[in-house]
Amino acid sequence: MLSALLIILLAIAAAGFKYGHIVERILFAASNDKATIASNLRLTDTKYNHHVVGKSSQPTPLPTAPSTNLQDKLWPTSFESQGETLVSDDFLQQAQVTGLIVVKDGHMIFEDYWHGLSQSQRQFAFSVAKSMTSVIMGFAIADGLIDDVNDPVIKYLPQFKGSAWDNATIANTLEMSSGVDFFEDYSRTDTDMSRFQKAFAFDQPIEPFMLALTSKAKPGTYQGYNSMEAQMAGMVIRSVLGERSLTDYMHEKLWQPLGAEDDATWVTDVTGMELSIGGLSMSLRDLAKVGQLMLQRGEWQGKQLLPEAWVMASTTPLKPYQLPGRDNPLSAKPFGYGYLWWTPVEPNGREFYASGIHGQYLFVNEEKNLVIALYSANYQFTDDPDGWKEKYENFFQAIASSMEE
């Protein structure tokens, strides 16, 4: 396989200097192993076209709890996951956690970094961008740019009439219930996601790929994990912004009022369309602020930035195919799913989280007034994505259980 890759790379290189950046991307992706993945995740955005989400003009750090040593361990010695007892420190080491922030009652009570990540550095957060897209959708509806979450996507993107997306609503895309066929398995290379990744790396625009997909089920009947649903949601938002980009809108509605301390970046395709399936890089501190906003049901410093009704709708699975459970025949996953936000297999009260491949998380527990933001460079994640996801959520739940209300 390596020799075949080398031949492809040499052929591209022979085609001329204009394709040098594509060669660099492929070589970069091929080096994503245990030794290099942590540094790679800090550089991923620089290998692709991207927009910058500028930090706030009034950057404001989260307050620190009085008399707190932010490096004092606050997690239990061990926790249970999938019938096993896992030692917490071993889990953190095996997962190659690069950063961890815990916020309790609006104050940081833990912050530390490993494997080269630092406080103000960005890390590529992969599918955490899906949950951020959900937040931005809430702003667009509140601003009257989108009439209703149950509108058909073709109302805003008429070029998709007659495609697999013809009968899907915006809500379907947020629930991943559009019925569009897209095979996504990160442990294999013969998948639709693999085809998409190759096309994206070669600077192919996203929209033609989306138009070519086919349908396999009636919308609103089954929850099957499909990253293209989040991409469609992002494209709907982009269609109503006029000259603004998703990046511009995110800065205006989120980064500026939250007092973001650092620039974020959003990877785009060659046309400038943001990769809403997973193209955001941001500092862990700023990600934690988004978690605090969601914990406070959209309220920030006395102002209702995001409608509470949207926060609740986004993070509360209600329809049969959204509900968590290992025996749910209407869902491809054992986890619950709202509008691009996950809930645990076995929730302890109101809990929800954003999740990205290789171990990127933003976890919220309302009862304990708790936010946990965590980045990893977990090179083993793709061997068993659902198994690893459950370990992470059980680790977060163990931290929550150890906290006083």
pLDDT in tens, 243-283: 999 999 999 999 999 999 999 999 999 999 999 999 999 99
The alpha carbon of residue 331 and the mean position of all alpha carbons in its chain are separated, in whole angstroms, by 20
Give the pLDDT band (50/70/90) at residue 11. low
More confidently predicted of 70 and 123:
123
pLDDT at 14: 47
pLDDT tens digits, residue range 149-172? 999 999 999 999 999 999 999 999
Q: What is the DSSP letter of 175?
A: H
pLDDT at 69: 80
Q: Could you give the angle at which helices 128-142 and 284-295 cross, rounded to 10 degrees?
A: 50
Burial of residue 6 (CB within 10 Å: 0-12, 13-18, 19+) is exposed
> Which pTM does this prediction carry?
0.94
Give the pLDDT band (50/70/90) at residue 8. low
pLDDT at 72: 86
Sequence-separated (6 or more) residues with CB below 8 Å from residue 191:
183, 184, 185
CB 104 within 8 A of CB 369: yes
pLDDT at 302: 96
Distance CA 274, CA 388 (A): 27
Residue 207 pLDDT greater than 50, yes or no? yes
Residue 350 pLDDT greater than 70, yes or no? yes
pLDDT at 261: 98
pLDDT at 28: 73
Lowest mean pLDDT among 21-30, 67-76, 112-121, 157-166: 21-30
Domains of the chain (ranges, CATH numbers): 31-402 (3.40.710.10)
Give the pLDDT band (50/70/90) at residue 18. low
pLDDT tens digits, residue range 88-111? 999 999 999 999 999 999 999 999
Distance CA 334, CA 324 (A): 5
Structure tokens belonging to residue 273:
């369309």
Q: What is the mean pLDDT of the chain?
A: 94
Give the pLDDT band (50/70/90) at residue 21. confident
How many CA atoms within 13 Å lie on the side-chain side of 91? 24
Structure tokens belonging to residue 378:
């977990």
Query: What mean pLDDT do residues 216-235 have?
Result: 97
Map tokens 């009968």 to a residue: 167
Query: What mean pLDDT do residues 65-71 have?
Result: 80
Q: What is the DSSP letter of 47?
A: G
Beta strands in 311-401, from DSSP E residues, in sequence order = 336-337, 342-343, 351-356, 360-365, 370-376
